[in-house]
């Protein structure tokens, strides 16, 4: 692998205005903030790399380092042994320079501002504060943001389809939010960029929302022009729901199912009367995937769950048209009810969806996977189970946990456990669990009990 031995990078915008305490903590290898900043910075510099093992990335670049160097006009970033693909003739690519600045901005603001806020500040307010500080809140724009979820490990046909859907969205003036990685996250952005160009839209938004635990395994793609690092997966998911006006889900693995279950838990909550437009979309080759997913959701949450989403196979122009109609309907609803266009304040999100779920062996074993639970609570518990599997599959902390203590033990009723096992086995067979691994090579991080 090629590396750039040494380079100076100046942060963009006003990020050179850091306090001495902030510079010290982000430059001290013994401080947690330094390690967080180093790992996120490495992930950003590893952009578009076809690698989804965070532990492998950290090992490959064990000699990578980043320092904040005070200068007369502010602070500069000094990097050592950085991935070479982020540089051209020794100069960092502008988009990646901005991504690095976003990492610095969000870590500084979150750790020194948000996490020190009073206990009576709600988690939703904290999510809003982070997004506002990142300039993701645009109060003078009509609703036009489509959230696109889907896997990073997908075949070319599925990527091309996601890109075509993005193109249809771009032609209709819609902006894109994804998890910022490759695959079904990059495709819609790339297609939308072409659609925007054809419509002479020069201010298209391609928002990538990540979090420290996942960014190393899903490095930001080069299309992202607004990168936001939320402090944990729960705040990341809430940011999607609060910012987005409608949702498209492309085929993916356990992370995609986690996202779906999170959203469905919110939509099933008795205090939420207003729905969110949700489309499952894929090429003709994805018909079986969505049949399996639909079967799983109906079995776990009842047949009525299918009323909350629509499945569209092929017809990317239809997906674009329906999303445009959905956004216009959201616009009318919020205008008539005097609700904010830019942040979905009216949704009630249960506390168990907002509190970080630590995927320890003990917490995974304690999950209540019981069909007798209220549907929104069961969806929340299932979401936590899939979140743990994501951690054990691609996150460095989870990988170490499984390596030390063995696979997670997931308990529940036999029927529900069989349904979970079936869909997970399908993902393994379809190679949606890890990039570049066959069914024979894949080592599960879980055991269904």
pLDDT given for residue 435 in this prediction: 54
Of 12-21, 37-46, 135-144, which range is least confident? 12-21
Please provide the DSSP assignment of 424-435 as one string: HHHHHHTT-SST
Q: Are 161 and 149 in contact (CB under 8 A)?
A: no
**What's the residue count for the chain?**
449
Task: Give the pLDDT confidence of 276-322 residue by residue, as tens digits.
Answer: 999 999 999 999 999 999 999 999 999 999 999 999 999 999 999 99
Percent of the chain with pLDDT over 90: 65
Tokens of 294: 């639909």
Tokens of 287: 């018909």
Report the relative pairing of strands 408-410 and 278-282 from DSSP bridges. unpaired
The C-alpha angle 352, 418, 155, rounded to 5 degrees, equals 85
Q: Are 444 and 390 in contact (CB under 8 A)?
A: no
pLDDT given for residue 47 in this prediction: 84
Once rounded to an integer, what is the mean pLDDT over residues 344-369? 93
Once rounded to an integer, what is the mean pLDDT over residues 174-197? 96
Rounded Cα gap, residues 99 and 87, in angstroms: 13
pLDDT given for residue 17 in this prediction: 65
pLDDT given for residue 191 in this prediction: 98
Rounded Cα gap, residues 121 and 108, in angstroms: 19
Confidence band, pLDDT 50/70/90 cuts, at residue 16? low
Question: Could you give the domains of the chain?
Answer: 3-112 (3.30.1850.10), 137-336 (3.40.50.450), 358-448 (no CATH)
Rounded Cα gap, residues 112 and 421, in angstroms: 42
Statement: residue 437 has pLDDT above 60: no
CB burial of residue 96 (10 Å; 0-12, 13-18, 19+) = buried
Once rounded to an integer, what is the mean pLDDT over residues 6-15? 78
Confidence band, pLDDT 50/70/90 cuts, at residue 44? very high
pLDDT given for residue 115 in this prediction: 75
Instruction: For residue 237, give the H/E element and its range.
Output: helix 233-243
Q: Are 369 and 410 in contact (CB under 8 A)?
A: yes
- Whole-model pTM: value is 0.92
Q: What is the mean pLDDT of the chain?
A: 90
Once rounded to an integer, what is the mean pLDDT over residues 359-372? 92
Q: Does residue 17 or residue 349 have the better pLDDT? A: 349
**Nearest Cα to 210, choosing from 294, 305, 134?**
134
Q: Does residue 22 or residue 382 have the better pLDDT? A: 382
Task: Give the pLDDT confidence of 107-141 residue by residue, as tens digits.
Answer: 988 887 887 777 788 999 999 999 999 999 999 89
Task: Give the pLDDT confidence of 73-91 residue by residue, as tens digits.
Answer: 778 889 999 999 999 998 9
Q: Does residue 71 or residue 138 have the better pLDDT? A: 138
Once rounded to an integer, what is the mean pLDDT over residues 347-361? 93
Once rounded to an integer, what is the mean pLDDT over residues 429-446? 69
Statement: residue 19 has pLDDT above 90: no
Confidence band, pLDDT 50/70/90 cuts, at residue 438? low
Task: Give the pLDDT confidence of 52-66 residue by residue, as tens digits.
Answer: 677 788 888 999 999
């Amino acid at each position: 692998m090629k590396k750039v031995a040494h380079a100076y990078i100046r942060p963009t915008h006003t990020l050179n205005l850091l306090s001495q305490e902030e510079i010290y903590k982000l430059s001290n290898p013994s401080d947690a903030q330094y390690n967080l900043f180093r790992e996120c910075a490495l992930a950003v510099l590893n952009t578009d790399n076809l690698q989804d093992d965070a532990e492998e990335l950290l090992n490959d670049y064990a000699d990578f380092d980043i320092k904040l160097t005070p200068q007369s006009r502010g602070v500069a970033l000094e990097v050592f042994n950085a991935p070479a693909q982020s540089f051209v003739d020794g100069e960092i690519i502008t988009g990646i320079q901005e991504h690095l600045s976003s990492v610095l901005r969000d870590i500084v603001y979150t750790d020194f501002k948000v996490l020190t806020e009073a206990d009576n500040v709600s988690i939703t307010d904290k999510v809003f504060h982070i997004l506002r500080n990142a300039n993701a809140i645009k109060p003078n724009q009509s609703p036009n943001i489509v959230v696109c979820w889907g896997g990073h490990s997908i075949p070319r046909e599925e990527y091309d389809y996601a890109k075509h859907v993005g193109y249809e969205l771009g032609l209709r003036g819609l902006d894109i939010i994804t998890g910022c990685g490759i695959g079904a996250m990059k495709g819609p952005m790339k297609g939308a960029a072409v659609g925007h160009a054809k419509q002479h839209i020069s201010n298209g938004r391609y928002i990538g929302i990540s979090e420290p635990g996942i960014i190393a395994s899903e490095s930001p793609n080069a299309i992202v022009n607004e990168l936001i690092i939320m402090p944990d997966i729960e705040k990341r998911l809430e940011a999607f729901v609060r910012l987005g006006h409608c949702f498209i889900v492309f085929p993916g693995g356990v992370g995609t199912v986690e996202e779906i279950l999170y959203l469905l838990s919110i939509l099933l909550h008795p205090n939420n009367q207003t729905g969110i437009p949700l489309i499952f979309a894929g090429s003709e080759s994805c018909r079986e995937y969505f049949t399996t997913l639909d079967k799983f959701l109906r079995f776990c949450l009842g047949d009525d769950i299918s009323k909350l989403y629509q499945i569209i196979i092929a017809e990317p122009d239809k997906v674009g048209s329906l999303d445009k109609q959905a956004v216009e309907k959201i616009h009318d609803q919020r205008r008539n009810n005097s609700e904010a266009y830019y942040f979905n304040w009216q949704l009630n999100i249960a506390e168990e969806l907002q509190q970080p779920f630590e995927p320890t062996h003990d917490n995974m074993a304690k999950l209540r996977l019981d069909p007798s639970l209220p549907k929104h609570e069961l969806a929340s518990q299932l979401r936590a189970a899939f979140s743990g599997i994501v951690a054990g599959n691609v996150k460095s902390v989870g990988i170490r946990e499984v390596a030390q203590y063995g696979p997670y033990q997931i308990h529940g009723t036999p029927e529900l456990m069989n349904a979970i096992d079936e869909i997970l086995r399908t993902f393994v067979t379809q190679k949606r669990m890890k990039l570049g691994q066959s069914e024979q090579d894949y080592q599960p991080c879980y055991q269904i009990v």
